[in-house]
């Protein structure tokens, strides 16, 4: 066990520290998103139109407002397994090139409209093979869609860049193939790899072959770990698989104790794993609303992101699934403003954390920080 300093302010000593977040400030501020699922962010109206076009008959309703509400209600079950069942309806309509181009383009446009300047969006190509597309054709379609969406956002005066993460499903056996796709498309906008799906019973070590291949290829990957499952899944993701980042990682808090009584009240002790994660600056892709829906956190106010940010872990803020959580990155920021008093300075901190942690080349990360993010916040913080 190591003893950490007592909780305290992060102490930027900056004029922006006290600027409270408002919905318009949270939306205007340049933001960076590292954990967003393409199949979790469709517009409800698009789901309905694509279902009509493809003959998909499984939707619970054909009214866009009702469908949006249905997704967030169905996803709020308190269990990761139940939450994941809602994806049948989005993946079900993502089976043609036209559908994939449209969904990817609208994703880029919607994120840009929310003030996101850089996003890493992930999806599992193996889930779009129900008709006649090959894995390569799926990836090509989504890449074309992102480029189209970036261009459409630019035409409406907003600049966004999308990096793609290809996901392999942890219960399936295609991870090596998907990892090879990541390497094949690394010069065409695919920046990394991920595994996702139900954690219990499907440890990341089932996919060691894929991770070892990626490491030999000097490629980047993140792993969904420590969401529904505790410290062992985080430990495996880092120490067996070699993940660069942790998808969620919220249960790392189980390795942290905060004394709540006596003379050492407020003293924080980190276990070996939590200390390793903080010392190595392992990025945590935290998704507060999604975690409350799946039961990984009891409420936003009790979400470990408040403590982890105070302890200066490499915290990043993310949406996970905008449709299932009825959320946006600016809304997540507002929730933390309300729960923990996060200010504009905290938004800048978490944004720069995310940009530093992206899978883009270092010089490109730096350029976005120096030329887009810092000037963007300076403009908002100016008197
Ligand atoms: Zn996720």
C-alpha 381 to ligand 1 mean position (Å):
32
Give the pLDDT confidence of 233-287 residue by residue, as tens digits: 999 999 999 999 999 999 999 999 998 887 777 899 999 999 999 999 999 999 9
Is 9's pLDDT higher than 80? no
Confidence category of residue 203, pLDDT binned at 50, 70, 90? confident
pLDDT of residue 17: 55
pLDDT of residue 78: 78
Report the 10 Å Cβ neighbour count for 367: 13
Mean of pLDDT over the chain = 92
> What is the H or E stretch that residue 127 is in?
none
Closest CA to 40 of 5, 85, 8, 79: 85
C-alpha 264 to ligand 1 mean position (Å):
37
Give the pLDDT mean for 349-361: 98
Give the pLDDT confidence of 174-193 residue by residue, as tens digits: 999 999 999 999 999 999 99
Q: Is 227 a catalytic residue?
A: yes
C-alpha 180 to ligand 1 mean position (Å):
21
Is 103's pLDDT higher than 70? yes
3-state secondary structure of 325: coil
Give the pLDDT mean for 91-105: 97
Report DSSP letters for 23-81, one per residue: HHHHHHS-EEEEEEEGGG---HHHHHHHHHHHT----S-S-HHHHHHHHHHHH-SS-HH
Tell me which of 5-19, 74-88, 118-132, 310-324 is least confident: 5-19
pLDDT of residue 383: 41
Give the pLDDT confidence of 292-329 residue by residue, as tens digits: 998 889 999 999 999 999 999 999 999 999 999 999 99
Query: What length is written for the chain?
Result: 383
In percent, the amount of the chain with pLDDT more than 90 equals 82
Q: 12-16: list long-range contacts, CB under 8 Å, 24+ apart.
A: 12/345, 12/349, 14/345, 14/381, 15/381, 16/343, 16/344, 16/345, 16/348, 16/377, 16/380, 16/381
C-alpha 283 to ligand 1 mean position (Å):
14
C-alpha 56 to ligand 1 mean position (Å):
25
Task: Please give the DSSP secondary-structure letter assigned to residue 258.
Answer: E
Please identify which of the residues 109, 199, 227, 236 carries the catalytic annotation. 227
C-alpha 76 to ligand 1 mean position (Å):
15
C-alpha 196 to ligand 1 mean position (Å):
7
C-alpha 378 to ligand 1 mean position (Å):
31
Cα distance between residue 198 and residue 230, in whole Å? 13
Q: Which residues pair with 225 in a beta bridge?
A: 248
Is 4's pLDDT higher than 70? no
Cα distance between residue 320 and residue 40, in whole Å? 7
Which superfamily does 2-381 belong to? Metal-dependent hydrolases (3.20.20.140)
For the chain, give every domain's residue range.
2-381
Angle between helices 97-113 and 44-54 in degrees, nearest 10: 170
Query: Residues lining ligand 1 (ion), CB within 5 A?
Result: 320
C-alpha 379 to ligand 1 mean position (Å):
32
Cβ atoms of 345 and 25 closer than 8 Å:
no
Question: What's the gap between Cα 84 and its chain centre?
Answer: 15
The residue ranking higher by pLDDT, 87 or 200, is 87
Tell me which of 10-19, 97-106, 279-288 is least confident: 10-19
Confidence category of residue 5, pLDDT binned at 50, 70, 90? very low
C-alpha 171 to ligand 1 mean position (Å):
15
Cα distance between residue 289 and residue 332, in whole Å? 7
Backbone angles phi, psi at 301, to 5 degrees: -60, -30
Is 7's pLDDT higher than 50? no
- Give how far Cα 19 sits from Cα of 16, 251, 305, 344, 369, Å: 5, 31, 20, 6, 20
Backbone angles phi, psi at 347, to 5 degrees: -65, -40
Cβ atoms of 175 and 159 closer than 8 Å:
no
Task: Please give the DSSP secondary-structure letter assigned to residue 5.
Answer: P
pLDDT of residue 11: 43
Give the pLDDT mean for 59-70: 94
pLDDT of residue 3: 43
Report the 10 Å Cβ neighbour count for 382: 8
Give the pLDDT mean for 332-346: 97
Cα distance between residue 83 and residue 362, in whole Å? 35
Report DSSP letters for 11-24, one per residue: ----GGGG-B--HH
Question: What's the gap between Cα 357 and its chain centre?
Answer: 12
């Amino acid at each position: 066990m190591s003893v950490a300093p007592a909780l305290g302010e992060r102490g930027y000593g900056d004029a922006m520290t006290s600027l409270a977040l408002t919905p318009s400030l949270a939306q205007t501020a340049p933001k960076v998103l590292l954990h967003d699922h393409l199949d979790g962010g469709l517009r409800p109206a698009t789901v309905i139109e694509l279902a009509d076009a493809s003959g998909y008959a499984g939707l619970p309703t054909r009214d866009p407002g009702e469908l949006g509400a249905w997704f967030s209600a169905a996803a709020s079950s308190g269990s990761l397994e139940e939450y994941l069942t809602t994806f049948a309806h989005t993946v079900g309509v993502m089976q043609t090139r036209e559908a994939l181009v449209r969904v990817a383009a609208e994703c880029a446009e919607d994120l840009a409209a929310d003030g996101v300047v850089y996003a890493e969006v992930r999806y599992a190509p193996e889930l779009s093979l129900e008709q006649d597309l090959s894995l390569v054709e799926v990836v090509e379609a989504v890449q074309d869609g992102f480029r189209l969406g970036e261009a459409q956002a630019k035409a409406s005066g907003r600049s966004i860049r999308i990096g793609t993460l290809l996901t392999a499903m942890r219960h399936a056996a295609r991870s090596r193939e998907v990892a090879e796709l990541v390497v094949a498309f690394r010069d065409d906008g695919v920046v990394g790899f991920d595994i996702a799906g139900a954690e219990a019973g499907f440890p990341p070590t089932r996919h060691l072959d894929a991770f070892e291949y990626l490491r030999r290829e000097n490629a980047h990957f993140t792993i969904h770990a420590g969401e529904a499952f505790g410290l062992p899944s985080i430990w495996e993701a880092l120490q067996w698989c070699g993940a660069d980042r942790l998808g969620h990682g919220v249960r790392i808090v189980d390795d942290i104790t905060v004394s709540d009584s006596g003379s050492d009240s407020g003293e924080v002790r980190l276990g070996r794993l939590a200390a390793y994660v903080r010392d190595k600056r392992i990025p945590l892709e935290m998704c507060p609303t999604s975690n409350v829906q799946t039961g990984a956190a009891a409420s936003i106010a009790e979400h470990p992101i408040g403590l982890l940010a105070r302890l200066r872990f490499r915290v990043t803020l993310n949406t996970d699934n905008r449709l299932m959580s009825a959320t946006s990155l600016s809304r997540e920021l507002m929730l933390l403003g309300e729960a923990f008093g996060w200010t504009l300075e905290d938004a800048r901190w978490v944004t720069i954390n995310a940009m530093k942690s992206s899978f883009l080349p270092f010089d490109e990360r730096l350029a976005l920080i120096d030329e887009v993010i810092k000037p963007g916040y300076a403009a908002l913080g100016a008197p």
